[in-house]
Structure 1
């Protein structure tokens, strides 16, 4: 079984369960300020989810000086997490931190 890496810059933490990785991102790292709307959200998965659920891909590209490869990578991460994660369990564990 492959492990789930935190994926945030400078962090080499890895976990057996995706839920543990997302909880770690939410509780162990600084929050991320969305460059599109200014919302402050947990970094990692929740920041990606916010960007792509709340904003257009074009807004993301402009705000983050991103390209299509950046968009595809984040869409892949979001899809991979959502394919296997129990998001209700994650929210139960982090509570109001989301």
Structure 2
């Protein structure tokens, strides 16, 4: 069976069997992202998407990132898929252990 989760940052096509490993990879192996709305530095990938949609309005995101409704919907879908599948406590534990 092919890995289900891919990194998706830039041209990175690293693939993983579980979503937690993909999030850990994004956090450890990619540069941080500076939020264009507030300037906060966050890990790229899932955590950047979560920050944008948990901390800011969709309108702020659209303005700051020159995004359209399709881009918003796609990121909301990614966030939802990850949150329905991920054990985020396990991700935190792995990051704390330096895995």
Same fold (TM over 0.5): yes
* Residues matched between the structures, number: 97
The TM-score, its normalising length taken from structure 2, stands at: 0.93
Matched residues in 2 for 1:84 and 1:10: separation? 24
Which residue of structure 2 aligns with residue 91 of structure 1? 92
The TM-score, its normalising length taken from structure 1, stands at: 0.94
Q: What's the Cα RMSD here? A: 1.6
Instruction: Report how far residue 62 of structure 1 moved.
Output: 0.1
1:51-91 superposed Cα distances (whole Å, 9 cap, x missing partner): 00000000000000000000000000000000010000101
Instruction: Report how far residue 92 of structure 1 moved.
Output: 1.1
Which residue of structure 2 aligns with residue 44 of structure 1? 45
Write out the 4+ residue segments of structure 1 that deviate beyond 3 Å after TM superposition: none
Unmatched runs of 5 consecutive residues or more in structure 1? none
